[in-house]
Amino acid sequence: MSRRARSLEEKIKIINDFKNETYSISELESIYNTDNVTIYDWVYKFERYGVEGLKESSSWRKYSKELKIQAVKDYLSGDFSLREVTRKYEIPSTSTLRQWIKKYNGHRELKDTGKGRSNSMTKGRKTTWKERIEIVQDALGNGKNYQQTAEHHQVSYHQVYQWVRKYEAGGWDALKDRRGRSKNEEELTPEEKMKLVIRQIEKENERLRAENAFLKKLEEIERRRK
C-alpha cells in the first residue's frame, strides 16, 4: 500500500501519540501506515524547529552548491550515515542526498537550487577571535546546526563549519587569525573569559540532557518491543 502525504495536523497527532506513549512505535506504523524512520524524523524536526519544521515549504528545498558538495563529502568520508548528513544539513530526505551523491560521483555539476535558507552560505565576513569563539560555542550548543548558527551571526555556513573543525582539532587558539598580527588571549577580559566558560558549560549540559532524554525514550521503546 502506498503511503500518502500527511497533513500538518496528522503529523502533530502522530507526534503527540508517540510522545504521550499512547501507542508503541510499531502500533503507530500500522495505524498510520508509515515507517518508524519517518516518525522519528517528524519528532526530531518538531522538537528542534517547532510546528514550522513540519510544514512542507519549498524554501527547505533550496540549497547552495557549496552546501551540497560539503554534504556529499561528509557522507563519502564514512564518518556520517545518510540520515546523519540529512539532519546535519537540514536536507528533506535521504533520497535528495542520494541524488546529489549520484551527480557528484558521475562528475556532474551540483548547482545552486535557489536562495531560500541557503542565503547565508555565500556571505562571509571578517570576525574577531572573540566572535569566533562565541560562534563555535553556539554551534556546539545547538547540536552543530551550522546553517542556523550562520544565519544568527550573519556569517557564512562554510566559516562556521571550518571554525568548529579547527576548534575540535586545536582548541580555542586554533581560531586565531594567523594572517598579519596574531590576536592574543588578552583580548578577552577575565570576566569575558568566565562568561564564555559558563556559557559553554550550560550549553553542554543542555545538549547532554537532550541526549539522555532521547536515549531513555529509545530504551523504553526497546523494552516494550521485548
pLDDT tens, 206-223?
777 777 777 777 777 777
Q: How far apart are CA 80 and CA 89, in angstroms?
A: 12
Residue 151 C-beta-side C-alpha neighbours within 13 Å: 7
Highest mean pLDDT among 26-40, 80-94, 210-224: 26-40
Consecutive H or E run containing 151: helix 146-153
Which grid coordinates are listed for 127?
570576525
Q: Is the pLDDT of residue 150 over 50?
A: yes
Weakest mean pLDDT among 12-26, 67-81, 99-113, 151-165: 151-165
pLDDT of residue 38: 81
Decide which of 188 and 78 is more confident: 78
Decide which of 12 and 54 is more confident: 12
pLDDT of residue 72: 93
pLDDT of residue 101: 92
pTM for the model stands at: 0.38
Question: Do 37 and 92 form a contact (C-beta atoms < 8 A)?
Answer: no
pLDDT of residue 84: 82
Mean pLDDT of the chain: 77
